[in-house]
Amino acid sequence: MASSASADGYLGLNGAISESQTKKLTDLPAELLEHILCFPLLSHDDICNASCTCKRLRDVCHGRGKVWGHQYRLRWPRLQKYYRHNECCDWLREYRTRHTVGLQIRLTVESISKRFFTEVPCVGQVLGDSFAEIQSLGAPEHFCEDELLFILNSDKWKSLTLKYYAKKILYFLRQQNILRSLKLFLEQSPVQQSALEGAVLVDQYCNPLAEITVASISDQLEEITDKVQKMLRIKNPSHPSLRGAPDAGVCFHVDDLELQRQAVGVLNCVLYEQLQYKGNELDYYNPLNSYIHQVIQRHTGIPISLSVLYMMLARRLGVQLEPVNFPNHFLLRWCQKPNGSEDIYDFVYIDAFGQGKQLTAKECEYLIGHQVTADYYSAISTTEVLLRMVGNLLNIGKRGEGNEKSYQLLRDSLDLYLTINPDNVQYLLLQARLYFHLGIWPEKVLDILQHIQALDPSQHGAVGYLVQHTLEHIQHKKQPVQPEVKRRSAAEHVDVRYAAGLVMKHKRSGYNCVIYGWDPKCTMSQEWISTMRVNQLSSGADQPFYNVLVQDGTCRYAAQENLEPHEDPLEIGHPEVGRYFSEFSNTHYVANEELETRYPEDMSETLCTVRRLYHRLLPSSGGNQSQAQETAEPAEQQAMPM
């Protein structure tokens, strides 16, 4: 009884409450009320309700106060880095804006799914109109990114389609920001441009979902520099490199050539012997060799990426090296004259790919097997270094297998190259052909072709062909095509044994996969059927074939007789799973709305199969059959052997 009365007063001697000494919650000091209202279990709804009860609590919960600041930090902790410590701002307004942006982002993500499922538009093309509404809110861009990250980091197996699109949008938005940063970088004078910053921008653009920053890469370079300085201190305690500039951005120079040799010798020892850096001869055309964060992480790379790393480390030790655009093998040059020189024989050339080996001008020619003119020994600018780096990635993309990963690399590297050198007709034409081949953003293709025609009228033949077919594609898009619906109950589908969403195993190849489509008979060309030796199967091409997403990231077309349900269903780590499925339900994948529209009777068949085969894995209350209303972008499908 005493505790129940204590909220408003206390009991007198006669058991009555003494009104003259009654105390209310609102009589507490503002600091204590704020402390109470910042209790972690209270939500923003609770704070809104409290502020509506009386003027006192409304004043305590004012927009610039501690309570709404706490709510903001509690709900969106990633955004704290954008505010100064103890910054005073209207937290209630920030909360409302961030909440509104979050709702709009989710609507945008959900709205693009149907279009992505039926055709292959570019993300930027689809987002144009949708994001105009978000931009009209006047909210910071990082609000959009934070909501997308929130979606991606939600429940692992659920909302797969929503996550699929959120990832694509985040990829696109980050790339746009990186391109803006690259353009600002290119506007700097050559003296201001840092090869490290340029390499990081290339890395970021090709890996926009990775957390890569100049600061984090610089910290890793400082760790290597510390190791070099420790070893150098043993050899020469008074070496000037030990007193090097504390700020890595500040350039200093060791004048004495012998002292430079000591620093370079120790750098080679630490980098190649202690840390085991080496050129990646066995997997030379792996794009990871070109990304500076991967070079540092994997301790391997190609000549240009290792040269950039080596050059930046040498600079921290007071040794100024210059990049040399040597054909087929990027090098660094090190002047051996105190006052500088332009004579190619006054330089030592360093092969960072070859364990830091020091070469004469003549020995450099042995690397490539033929003589070159003196021009090839000249130092190049940071912009030219970036063009060579991006050119390597372009060549890797062109060498690719024609799958989505190689196409994405080709698109990314073309974007970078044409940002640096926007009037390169050869690569503009390649970009137009790539977009045309993939069937994406035909309006963009026309813009590119118009630019090519203005730069080089002699290309009118190739340009005219692409313009004609692009216009036909645009006209075709105006005539919507109804999706093909396949019902299992149809007489021609009587032999189809498996359904979309089942996790399967290939009997011959042993790979794990999930079904996302099927045909009652093989629909591939006779050439494909012959190449894949389909006729050697017991039922040949006259049996159901299934479109499957394989664990290794490929899309394959498999014969029914080669597939069997997996005895212990597992999650399939394919990047396109979210295009077709809304969630993984422990035993099977749940088709999203668009896939279910095309195979309306498959979900019930999948559930019947699951109950028959995996009853031991099902929860007593039955599996989760929730459906997400999202779809995804078509992937490039690579037809593989059965």
pLDDT > 90 in the chain, percent = 62
- 287 or 483, higher pLDDT: 287
| Alpha-carbon 611 to chain mean position | 38
Give dist(CA 328, CA 421) in Å, integer: 21
pLDDT tens, residue by residue, 465-492: 999 988 987 787 777 667 789 999 999 9
Mean pLDDT of 597-611: 95
Lowest-confidence region among 144-153, 325-334, 583-592: 144-153
Give dist(CA 417, CA 424) in Å, integer: 9
Q: How confident is the model at residue 638 (pLDDT cuts 50, 70, 90)?
A: very low
Residues near 241 by beta carbon (within 8 Å), at least 6 away in sequence: 228, 229, 232, 254, 259, 263, 317, 318
Q: How far is CA 407 from CA 256, 393, 433, 550, in A?
A: 50, 11, 12, 19
Q: How confident is the model at residue 21 (pLDDT cuts 50, 70, 90)?
A: low
CA 197, 245, 273 angle in degrees (round to 5)?
70
- For the cut 80, the answer to whether the pLDDT of residue 629 exceeds it is no
| Mean pLDDT estimate for the chain | 87
**Beta-bridge partners for 429:** none
Lowest-confidence region among 61-75, 274-288, 534-548: 61-75
Phi then psi for residue 55, to 5 deg, are -65, -35
What's the pLDDT at 134?
63
Radius of gyration of the chain (CA): 32
What's the pLDDT at 250?
55
Give dist(CA 216, CA 481) in Å, integer: 49
What's the pLDDT at 13?
44
pLDDT tens, residue by residue, 400-459: 776 778 888 999 999 999 999 999 999 999 999 998 888 777 888 999 999 999 999 999
164-168, 178-182, 406-410: which is most confident: 178-182
> Residue 357 belongs to what H/E stretch?
strand 357-359
Model's pTM, two decimal places? 0.83
Give dist(CA 385, CA 305) in Å, integer: 10
What's the pLDDT at 329?
93
DSSP annotation of 588: B
Strand ranges of the sheet holding 347-351, from the earlier edge strand across to the other edge: 322-324, 331-335, 347-351, 357-359
Selection from 381, 414, 388 nearest residue 195 by Cα: 381
